[in-house]
Structure formats: structure tokens, C-alpha cells
Amino acid sequence: MRRKIPDLEQALEGHLDPGHALLARSILRRIDQIQTALAELNQVIDDAFEPSTHEIELLQTMPGFGPHVAQVFIAETGGDMSRFHSAAHLAAWAGLAPAVYESAGRSRAVGSRHGDKWLSAILVEAAGSVGRMHGKNYLAEQHARLARRRAMGRAQVAVAHSMIVIAYHMLTRDEPYQDLGANWYLRRNEELHTRRLVTQLERLGHTVTLDAAS
């Protein structure tokens, strides 16, 4: 706003007649009424979610899961993960699992399934907010890696899928979110590369013993 100070100063010049003041008071009253109505509705919503307070607080330990996202998750799923056979079942039910087209014995991915549009939409939105964290945690790093290789929209859907799977396990185990760390992908690649080298040496008849570098 500092760059707009000259424009703001110019906008303040002029005169305020009684008609302008009446209009301003009317607008302010409407804003106050809307804010009061919103506060009342938010209180009604909070009261309705009181039995699920623990689950909502648990979900908010995950990056991107604010109070509203957690409430929508509980409202759409019921909060009882025993209704779903697995995390994959929940993701498919929400429309965040890849759809597969099968023909003549062959299958190929054809985008996402149809599912709960309210839950999928809020989780994709939450994934977008995670992407703006710029690699500060596992989910943000996943978003950054996928966005570099694929379209931004597909990256958000993929991260939303990860979030719903994590949420399933958090609620099933009654455990808060445990972040794998922004460098998890780097560690995993190093471990995979090490295992490949060990396998190649063993195939050549060598016995390999790994010692951690000091």
C-alpha cells in the first residue's frame, strides 16, 4: 500500500456532504449486520462440531488443515474411519483416487473418479495452501516436486490424495500428524541408490557390509 499513498491522499481530498455521510452510515450498518450474522452462524457450527472437537484438533496438526478444512472433513466423512475399508477406499469415495479405464485386458489412468465434491474441493484447496509453504514440510516438498514435472492442478490433486490418506491413518490410530521432513525424497533416493549398488555387487559375488560414515 505504500506505493499507493499518493493515490490514497488524492482520494481523501474533496468534501463530504450529508448525502455521502448517510450512504456511508448505511453501508457500515450493513457490514455490521453481516458480521453479526456470520458470528452467530459460526457459533452454531462450532456447537454442532463440539462432539468432534478432539478429531478436529487432531486433523489440524497436518499442514494445510485449518479449522474449516477439518470441519468439512468431519462433516462429509462423519469422522468414523471404520466406515471405510482402507485409506484407498476413502480416497476413492472422495473422488481423489485415479480412475482406471480397462479395455481388452489393458488399463490406463483417465483422471480422477467422481466422488464427494465438497470434500475433494476443500482438500484440493488445502493442497494449494500447502504448496505456498515452499518446501517447509513433506507435503510442501511433494507439491513442489510434482508441480515441476506436471501441471499445477494435477500436483494439487495428488497432494490432496496424500492428505486424505494421512488423515485416515491419523483418525484411525488417534495420532497427530508426524512430518517426514522436507528432505524425505532426497533420503529415499539415496537409500534406493545404495540398495541398487549393493544388489549389483552381490550379483557379482561380493559380500557387502555397510558402515555409516563418521
Per-residue pLDDT, 106: 53
pLDDT along the chain (214 residues), means of 10: 86 82 94 97 93 95 94 94 93 80 46 77 94 86 86 89 95 93 70 71 76 64
Integer-rounded Cα Rg, in Å, for the chain is: 25
Per-residue pLDDT, 184: 66
Nearest-angstrom CA–CA distance, 5 and 56: 42
Residue pair 165/84 in contact by the 8 Å Cβ criterion: no
